[in-house]
């Protein structure tokens, strides 16, 4: 059997070629191409000259060998593989297909990289092997090859018992998988209750005021005595010049009484207006020639009364309210200025009466020293500090001069390791090719570098480092891998060599190769 790979459009295919149609079973091929069998990859048939070609769609599927070479298979992953194989063996019996047609080979078993759900290839040809025995050999090779994770529940050891038994019972294997899968799904992580923390009261410690330093009579500069530091005299805030609470209450009560009086006056006027309208209607002034009520007169009187009410309401409430707000505005400004603490006159220290009071914040900060008026210049001679440098080592001196003469070398960390760079959210991101195989895709659990892009497949491509040569290989991705802006995607599972500056496009993400 000859296996090759093909890429047509956005689909990747594994192609099995039967030379001159030898060994092929026609009814099995028809069953395979005309039906969708669970966990069996769909197949298409075509003929080239005398050869029969069967192609299997493996788009977005990764071979079990490829995944097991990078990460160990999890317990749930192995259970899904076993259950998928047993389901496929049951399904093909309904279509009169034999179990020996399923290929139980790591390289040609394709799984979902996230769930390990398997998809198998069925070859419609004659064979003497038994499918269940091939599946048993597959499981033993995975376990003995240390490709399965070991767990605390000893699942691998329990699985080995039926596999190494004299008779391999499929039903026992099914029960075992169902048992361990339900146990793992019902397990919940143990959460320790958080410890109760008794909040400690916050203690505020007021440090004592440092003593005032004595001043040198000659220079006027404060002397440093021990760890004492220069301090400023304390500031005592003046009492606030705000109205008392009683005055504020009286003002509020007075304003409330005024508002009540205005409301009463307005209501009395409304009653008067209603009485006037009632008196006019009863006197017959508003009647027409027929003795009925003339609504035009009534409407005119109501309009006049509404105008008078509007003028009265505006004068009593709105205009007076604006006047009060204008009168209160300067008072607010005065109260704000009164809130500002005034600078108190500092008290002279008993330790040294020559210390001058600190200047106000608005004044210029100038050093104030108490310099005596009569100071003879000849008596004050400043002492210059003398520094003695240690003797210089002549060898170190020569090395220093040599380094000073050379130019500084820029350390370029990015070019030290071959890498791929691309722009992500406006920033340059680099993928270092610092191992033999670097996998790039969307699924972080199966890839060395994950790209958050829905167009990228779960495991999209592999970048292979072989000595000083670098290659890219598409891993049956859906949207393909392209080189140097070509519209033709590269074939899946085929290595293409990369050179410095090559542009590799994964779906719609452009990567630039640098080495």
Confidence label for 503 from pLDDT (cuts 50, 70 and 90): very high
Q: What is the mean pLDDT of residues 289-294?
A: 72
Give the pLDDT confidence score for residue 398 in this predicted structure: 53
Higher-scoring residue by pLDDT: 409, 151: 151
Higher-scoring residue by pLDDT: 133, 235: 133
Give the pLDDT confidence score for residue 383 in this predicted structure: 52
Q: Is residue 348 part of a domain?
A: no
Q: Is residue 246 part of a domain?
A: no
The mean predicted confidence, pLDDT, of the chain is: 76
Confidence label for 235 from pLDDT (cuts 50, 70 and 90): low
| Domain boundary, last residue among 272, 304, 327 | 327
Q: What is the mean pLDDT of residues 500-512?
A: 94
Check whether 201 has a pLDDT greater than 50. no
Give the pLDDT confidence score for residue 355 in this predicted structure: 46
Q: What is the pLDDT of residues 90-136, one digit of tens each?
A: 999 889 898 889 999 999 999 988 889 999 999 998 776 577 888 99
Q: What phi, psi does 202 have (nearest 5°)? A: -75, 125
Number of neighbours of residue 481 by Cβ within 10 angstroms: 25
CATH number for the domain that contains residue 30: 1.10.510.10
Residue whose C-alpha is closest to residue 162's, from 186, 185, 135: 135
48 and 154 co-located in one domain: yes
Check whether 393 has a pLDDT greater than 60. no
Collapse the DSSP code of 18 into the 3-class scheme (helix H, G, I; strand E, B; otherwise coil) and give the result: strand
3-state secondary structure 37-94: CCCECCEEEEEECCEEEEEEECCCCEEHHHHHHHCCECHHHHHHHHHHHHHHHHHHHH
Q: What total number of domains does the chain contain?
A: 3
Least confident of 41-50, 313-322, 376-385: 376-385
Check whether 152 has a pLDDT greater than 80. yes
Q: Is residue 478 part of a domain?
A: yes
Give the pLDDT confidence score for residue 457 in this predicted structure: 93
CATH number for the domain that contains residue 502: 2.60.200.20
Give the pLDDT confidence score for residue 436 in this predicted structure: 93
6 and 117 co-located in one domain: yes
| Domain boundary, last residue among 185, 219, 247 | 185
Q: Is residue 168 part of a domain?
A: yes
Give the pLDDT confidence score for residue 210 in this predicted structure: 58
Q: Is residue 111 part of a domain?
A: yes
46 and 145 co-located in one domain: yes
Domain membership of residue 310 as a residue range: 256-327
Q: Is residue 296 part of a domain?
A: yes
Q: What is the mean pLDDT of residues 178-186?
A: 81
283 and 163 co-located in one domain: no
423 and 281 co-located in one domain: no
Give the pLDDT confidence score for residue 450 in this predicted structure: 93
H or E, element range at 471:
strand 469-474
């Amino acid at each position: 059997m000859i296996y090759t790979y093909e890429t047509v459009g956005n689909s990747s295919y594994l192609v099995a070629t039967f030379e001159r149609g030898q060994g092929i079973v026609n009814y099995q091929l028809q069953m395979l191409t005309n039906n969708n069998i669970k966990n069996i990859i769909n197949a298409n048939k075509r003929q080239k000259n005398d050869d029969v070609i069967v192609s299997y769609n493996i788009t977005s599927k990764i071979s079990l060998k490829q995944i097991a070479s990078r990460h160990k298979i999890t317990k749930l992953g192995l259970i899904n593989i076993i259950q998928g194989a047993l389901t496929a063996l049951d399904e093909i019996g309904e279509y009169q297909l034999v179990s020996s047609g399923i290929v139980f080979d790591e390289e040609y078993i394709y799984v979902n990289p996230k769930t390990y759900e398997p998809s198998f290839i069925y070859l419609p040809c004659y064979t003497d092997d038994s499918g269940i025995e091939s599946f048993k050999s597959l499981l033993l090779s995975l376990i003995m090859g240390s490709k399965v994770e070991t767990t605390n529940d000893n699942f691998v050891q329990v699985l080995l018992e039926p596999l190494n038994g004299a008779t391999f019972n499929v039903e026992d294997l099914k029960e075992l998988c169902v048992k361990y899968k339900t146990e793992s799904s019902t397990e919940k992580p143990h959460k320790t209750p958080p410890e109760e923390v008794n909040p400690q009261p916050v203690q505020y410690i007021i440090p004592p005021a440092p003593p005032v330093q004595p001043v040198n009579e000659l220079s006027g500069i404060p002397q440093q005595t021990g760890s004492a530091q220069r301090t400023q005299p304390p500031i005592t805030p003046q009492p606030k010049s705000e109205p008392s609470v009683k005055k504020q209450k009286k003002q509020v009560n007075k304003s409330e009484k005024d508002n009540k009086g205005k409301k009463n006056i307005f209501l009395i006027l409304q009653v008067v207006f209603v009485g006037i309208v009632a008196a006019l209607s009863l006197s017959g002034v508003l009647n027409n020639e027929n003795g009925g009520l003339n609504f035009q007169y009534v409407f005119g009187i109501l309009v006049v009364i509404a105008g008078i009410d509007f003028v009265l309401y505006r004068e009593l409430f709105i205009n007076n309210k604006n006047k009060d707000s204008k009168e209160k505005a300067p008072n607010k400004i005065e109260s704000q200025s009164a809130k500002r603490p005034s600078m108190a006159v500092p008290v002279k220290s008993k330790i040294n009466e020559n210390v001058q009071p600190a200047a106000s914040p608005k004044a210029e900060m100038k050093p104030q020293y108490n310099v005596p008026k009569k100071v003879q210049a000849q008596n004050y001679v400043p002492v210059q500090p003398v520094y003695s440098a240690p003797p210089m080592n002549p060898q170190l001196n020569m090395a220093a001069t040599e380094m000073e003469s050379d130019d500084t070398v820029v350390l370029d960390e990015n070019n030290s390791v071959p890498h791929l760079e691309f722009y992500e959210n406006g920033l340059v991101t680099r993928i270092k090719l610092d191992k033999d195989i670097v996998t790039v895709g969307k699924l972080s659990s199966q890839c060395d570098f994950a790209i958050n892009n829905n167009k990228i497949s779960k495991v999209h491509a592999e970048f292979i480092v072989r000595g000083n040569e670098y290659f890219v290989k598409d891993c049956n991705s859906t949207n393909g891998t392209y080189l140097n802006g070509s519209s033709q995607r590269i074939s899946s599972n085929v290595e293409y060599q990369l050179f410095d500056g090559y542009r590799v496009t994964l779906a719609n993400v452009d990567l630039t190769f640098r080495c």
